[in-house]
Amino acid sequence: MRDAAPYRIVLCTCPDMGTAEDLAKRLVASRLAACVNILPGLTSVYEWKGAVASDSELLLLAKTSEARYPALESALRQAHPYELPEIVCIPIVAGLSGYLEWIEDSVSSSG
């Protein structure tokens, strides 16, 4: 296990599988994320524009580096269908050394 301070997990909800797969593929193909997991079966309950809403959604878990996060956020904002998408970045505090190195290699612009 090694210190993983420069690595991040980014959470982003999506309205349907087509959107989730499109965004995930864009992030990986552009080397903004090493891997994106798509978790189906979520129900989100939230307040929006003065009313409580409930929607079925999918959750993206994107693994990236701290350095690539700004570009990843920008790419999600540009391609996401929501007016205000959920984009939350969480630091990875520790992890398997080889996996973290793979993240770095995968999002490296020289890869």
Cα dihedral 58, 62, 66, 67 sign: negative
The whole model's pTM is what? 0.92
5 pLDDT higher than 90? no
2 pLDDT higher than 60? no
Q: Do 21 and 38 contact (CB within 8 A), yes or no?
A: yes
Residue 31 C-alpha from the chain's centroid: 12
Residues 75-105 have pLDDT tens digits of 999 999 999 999 999 999 999 999 999 999 9
4 pLDDT higher than 70? no
110 pLDDT higher than 90? no
Whole-number pLDDT of residue 109? 72
Q: Predicted confidence band at 17 (pLDDT cuts at 50, 70, 90)?
A: very high
63 pLDDT higher than 60? yes
29 pLDDT higher than 80? yes
Percent share of the chain, pLDDT over 90 = 92
Q: Which domains, and CATH codes, for the chain?
A: 2-107 (3.30.70.120)
